[in-house]
Amino acid sequence: MTEETLLTPADFIAPLFVVEGDGAPEPIGSMPGVSRLGLRDLVEECRELAALGVPAVALFPKLADGLKDDRGSRALDPDGLVLRAVRAIKDSVPQMVVMTDIALDPYTTHGHDGVLNAAQDDVANDETVEILAKMAVLHARAGVDFVAPSDMMDGRIGAIRKALDGHGCSATAIMAYSAKFASAYYGPFRDAVGSAKAAGTHSLDKRTYQLNPANRREALIEAALDEAEGADVLMVKPAGAYLDIIRDLRERTQRPLAAYQVSGEYAQLHAAAERGWLDLVKTRRESLLAIKRAGADMILTYFAKEMAAELAL
């Protein structure tokens, strides 16, 4: 009767990794229990998530190395992997809310979230934004409910909103990665989508466009800009190490607030549990409670399916 924070399956968004074909799921070594899925298994996973009450999935592609180039050209393929995945889910599980990543890192040989400038030492912000706006329109036309720009380019939310509205896609919402920090917790995700291999390192330096982990006020400025440009949902990423940012934003905005419990947070709980140092069931629940208690309305987490099943008991 006095418990203040309650988790429900409806709080969760399940990130899913998709690959070409209908082969067996491809386990991701650095993320125990998580696999890349072909379209058939992806649809089945969405059915199971929906049956458990998880309302949304976020899709991330893993492309073969030969399909990547320095400009991420495959991101604008009208019959690309993610677009076919969206159509397959919507055909088979129409009630599932589908979110797609708008960024170039899965498509580029260098692993950055945008195209590089002439000196090859930084992203070309404005040129990247033009590509991202076109990418968002393709995803909207495929039937996605939310486009989720994760690139952290300046001005991309306004450009994407303008492009969506101008192409008759005003009903497509934007979940903005508004406070995305240049974090050390992203390594397993880069394994999952292949950007670590492309770049040759888990520690790809994205500090020129992602936020400095030391900067609290800057995160609030970035989120306010995204809100002013038309973002429907704001996000903080990572979640666990940035609970203060989640709380700050919750107190400053009336927009829905998402938080991403990232791959490194997931992996470290599994690693400690495998060594017998932590109880996985208890710590995953506590970590998610903390994120919701801080003020998140929705949580992207690789624990979504397990937690939804646990909460149904």
In tens, the pLDDT along 17-40 reads: 999 998 999 999 999 999 999 999
pLDDT of residue 269: 98
In tens, the pLDDT along 211-225 reads: 999 999 999 999 999
- Indicate if the pLDDT at residue 301 is higher than 60: yes
- Indicate if the pLDDT at residue 155 is higher than 90: yes
Point out the least confidently predicted range of 110-114, 146-150, 176-180, 271-275. 110-114
List of domains in the chain: 9-311 (3.20.20.70)
Report the run of H or E that residue 248 belongs to, with start and end: helix 243-250
Percent of the chain scored above 70 by pLDDT? 97
Q: pLDDT-based confidence at 207, cuts 50/70/90?
A: very high
Q: pLDDT-based confidence at 174, cuts 50/70/90?
A: very high
Percent of the chain scored above 90 by pLDDT? 93
Q: What is the mean pLDDT of the chain?
A: 95
In tens, the pLDDT along 243-268 reads: 999 999 999 999 999 999 999 999 99
pTM across the whole model: 0.95
Q: pLDDT-based confidence at 194, cuts 50/70/90?
A: confident
pLDDT of residue 313: 85
The residues pairing with 176 across neighbouring beta strands, listed in sequence order, are 234
Tell me the catalytic residues: 180, 237
**Contact 255/227 with Cβ under 8 angstroms?**
yes
Q: pLDDT-based confidence at 196, cuts 50/70/90?
A: low
pLDDT of residue 197: 52
- Extract the runs of DSSP E, i.e. beta strands, from 2-55: 12-18, 26-27, 35-37
Alpha-carbon separation of residue 37 from 105, 160, 275 (angstroms)? 19, 28, 28
Residue with tokens 């609030």: 220
Sign, CA dihedral 248-254-255-260, equals: positive
pLDDT of residue 195: 77
Nearest in space to 88 (alpha carbons), one of 137, 47, 132: 47
Q: pLDDT-based confidence at 120, cuts 50/70/90?
A: confident
Nearest in space to 260 (alpha carbons), one of 281, 282, 235: 235
144: its two tokens: 């996605």
